[in-house]
Amino acid sequence: MKTETCPLCKNRDTTPFSKSENRDYFYCSNCDLVFVPTEYFISQKEEKEKYDQHQNSTDNQGYQDFLNKLLIPLCSHLPSQALGLDFGSGPGPTLSIMMEELGYKMDIYDYFYHNDPKVFENSYDFITTTEVIEHLHNPYEEILKLWACLKPGGILGIMTAFRPSDESFKGWYYKRDLTHVRFFTEASFNWLSDKLNAEIFVPQSNVVILKKRD
């Protein structure tokens, strides 16, 4: 039986989970991740073309309301004038502007639109990743890179749609986006928090806050 190495915990004993959108999905029982094998990744050109279609901006109140699901609980963990990085800010940075309006200082990074690797030489009070982690081909390595940029006591705020139950997965809208290749649950983030020795807070579904211990 075909197997694939889990891109999060590196477990090699994964199992076929589902098949749709002309691609396979595998399941890791160690960290509860469902993932798409590399052979089904679309090209970087196709990926950017999809991102270019995003209409997110500070003029979109609905999008701001969506981001507030992370922003509001995140701010309760931050000192005033904290320095943050919005990782995966997209073609229309929005969360960083919302944070700046609240008095926080922000840098942004995006592989396609704001690719400035110098930000990873800095130390941050907090880092945000909103609707990003599901796109990452190497999520554990990317998270470790971000984690290394956090000061002791720093916060990593994550938004991504939590994978539904096995019965609902086949019809789940979120996996139809071919740029989405990693699907997490709260259990996946519990595994990650243990690995990072982090405190974890889940203020609501699809939102995770990981705090780096002092």
Q: Residue 87 is part of a domain; what is its CATH number?
A: 3.40.50.150
Q: Quick check: is 149 in a domain?
A: yes
7 assigned to some structural domain: no
Judge whether 2 lies within some domain.
no
| Structural domains of the chain, count | 1
For strand 124-130 and strand 150-159, is the pairing parallel, antiparallel, or unpaired?
A: parallel
- 5: amino acid identity, one letter: T
- List C-alpha distances in Å: 123 to 37, 155, 176: 33, 12, 36
Domain annotation covers residue 91: yes
8, part of any domain: no
What is the residue-averaged pLDDT of the chain? 94
Tell me if 5 is assigned to some domain. no
pLDDT of residue 48: 93
Question: What's the number of CA atoms in the CB half-sphere (13 Å) around residue 127?
Answer: 29
**Rounded distance between C-alpha atoms, residue 26 and residue 15, angstroms:** 5
Flag whether 38 is in a domain: yes
Whether residue 163 is contained in a domain is answered as yes
Residue 56's domain spans which residues? 15-212
Condensed to tens digits (0 to 9), the pLDDT of residues 110-141 reads 999 999 999 999 999 999 999 999 999 999 99
pLDDT at 54: 73
Report residue 160 CA to chain centroid gap: 6
Please give the average per-residue pLDDT across 131-152, as a whole number: 98
What pLDDT, on the 0 to 100 scale, is given for residue 3? Answer: 79
Contacts of 121 (CB under 8 A, 6+ apart): none
Reported as a single tens digit per residue, the pLDDT across 40-81 is 999 999 999 999 887 666 667 888 899 999 999 999 999 989
